[in-house]
Amino acid sequence: MKTTRREFLGSIAAGAALVAAPSIVRAQGADVIRIGALCPVTGVGGPYGSGMQKMIVAAAEAVNAAGGASGRKIEIVSEDTQTNPQAAVLAAKKLIEVNKVQAVLGTWSSGVSLAVIPLTNDAGIPLMHCSGAPALSVPPANAKGLGFRFQATNDRFGRAFAEICEKEGFKRPATMAFNNASGIGNTEGFTKAWKAKGGEVVESVVYEPNQASYRSELMKVLAANPDVIVTGSYIADTTIILREWFQTGQPVKWVIPGWAANPQLIEALGAEVTEGIISVDSVSNEGAEAFKAYDAAYQKAMSQAGTNNVYAAMTWDMMTVLALAIEAAGTADMAAVVAKLREVGNPDGKQVSTFAEGKEALKAGKINYEGASSVLDFDQHGDVTPDFGAYFIEGGKLNRRYVVQI
């Protein structure tokens, strides 16, 4: 936390210096496209936010190094959502009204994205986010088709859970969901996919946040004798639930989304309680050329492997694909740019992995950007379908055993 805050202050200082330095401002003149990097630098998203923001900046640098998009340089204005909808709305207002950004990139957590998207819709600019809530695909949130999701929807997560449960041979799954759009989205997606496979769900519970104990909820679920419990949960409630479950002594397996079953959870509960939990997270497009470019940038900025932050690969793709669409549209008019996003991201067309490569190929014809986070093909809702990794917690470590595709 301390490092990220310091880094955040650093990025503010850098941003302030950029604005203050007259030479830079003069050099860029009017032909600049401003993009907002609105990431969860502090709060629950803190472990990811700083890397996400730096990858937007790094991708923009790559675009500028290749001569800019449609002849214009990209300028990034960074803000922190604090992983908090109120703070995110204030920051988004500032980005849109004061900085006059042409797009907002990098929001994380469904509550934040759902709060920000009305503002970007009103401004007529795209919002590219890493949130899972199904509500972000459809009106009213995405009434104008300006929302683009680089993370899997909770519904897709649910489908991945069902694939993994089938692969592991579970017969009697039960579900537990945190009462919000994301939590219920996960378990409903699972139930739908599981029933389509002809299975049945023996019990399902939706629970409230901020309870001192979830023992009654657990009693109800465990009474149905499930062999696995699939959750749509967050780290705080997962910590409490798993601790109370372990104390009951009833053996059962768990399938938990990656943002809840992470190293922090293992640290909180210890290796014994978390042994055998299956953590499911979307995985980056690790074999792709684009991932290599992202990985190099991430290692340079964060001194860590790019595989440590799936969301940073998403923000790298956001900036790259947006710049390609601007290049293809030949204008910074966002209505025209948004219309081109699917054209540069989806098949068919020449496969490209970087902005420079794409800019070159656009002169010859259509392109298909294969991203670092996924193959990045937007469906009619602006959603993508990444692959999912099944990580087993073994001896206090998350080990990825296999990747599932849905």
Partner 1 sequence: MFYAQLAVNGLVQGLVVGLGALALTLVFGIARFPNAATGDTMTFGAYAALTVHKASGSLALGSIAAIGGAAVLALLAYLTVFKRLAGRSVVSLLVASIGIGFMIRAGLGVAFGHQQQVFNVPLSRPIRVAGLAINPLDLQLAAVAAVALAAVFAILYLTPIGRQMRAVADNRDLARVSGIRPERVMTAMWLITGGVSAVGGMMLGIKTIVSPEVGWEMLLPVFAATILGGIGSPVGAVVAGLVLGVAQEVSTPFVGFTYKIALSFVVLLAVLLVRPRGLFGRIEGVR
Binding interface with partner 1 (CB under 8 A)? 1-2, 42-44, 46-47, 179, 205-213, 215-217, 219-220, 235-236, 239-240, 243, 246-249, 264, 268-270, 273
Q: How far is the CB of 247 from partner 1 (least distance, A)?
A: 6
* Residue 87 or 328 with smaller CB distance to partner 1: 87
CA distance 186 to 201: 14
Closest contact distance (angstroms) between CB of 238 and partner 1 is 10
CB-CB contact of 142 with 381 (8 Å): yes
Taking CA 204 as the corner, what is the angle to CA 198 and CA 208, rounded to the nearest 5 degrees? 150
Smallest separation (angstroms) from partner 1 to the CB of 324 = 36
What's the min distance (Å) between Cβ of 203 and partner 1?
12
Nearer to partner 1 (CB atom), residue 161 or residue 207:
207
Q: Which is nearer to partner 1, 193 or 205 (CB)?
A: 205
Q: Both tokens of residue 353? A: 């992995």
Burial of 272 (0-12, 13-18, 19+ CB in 10 A): exposed
CA distances from 186 to 107, 264, 306, 361, 380 (A): 19, 21, 26, 39, 21
Nearer to partner 1, 217 or 327 (CB): 217
From the CB of 287, what's the least distance to partner 1, in Å? 33
Q: Are 119 and 92 in contact (CB under 8 A)?
A: yes
Instruction: Choose between 248 and 399: whose C-beta lies nearer to partner 1.
Output: 248
Q: Which of 227, 234, 193, 192 is nearest to 210 (CA)?
A: 234
Cβ contacts of 329 within 8 Å, gap of 6 or more: 70, 336, 337, 339, 340
Judged by beta carbon, residue 115 or residue 269, the one nearer partner 1 is 269
Residue nearer to partner 1 on the CB measure, 7 or 357: 7
Q: How, if at all, do strands 228-232 and 253-257 pair?
A: parallel
Question: Residues, the chain, total?
Answer: 406
**Nearest distance from residue 397's CB to partner 1, in Å?**
19
Q: In the bound complex, what is the minimum distance in angstroms from residue 369's beta carbon to partner 1?
A: 35
Peptide bond into 348 cis (omega under 30): yes
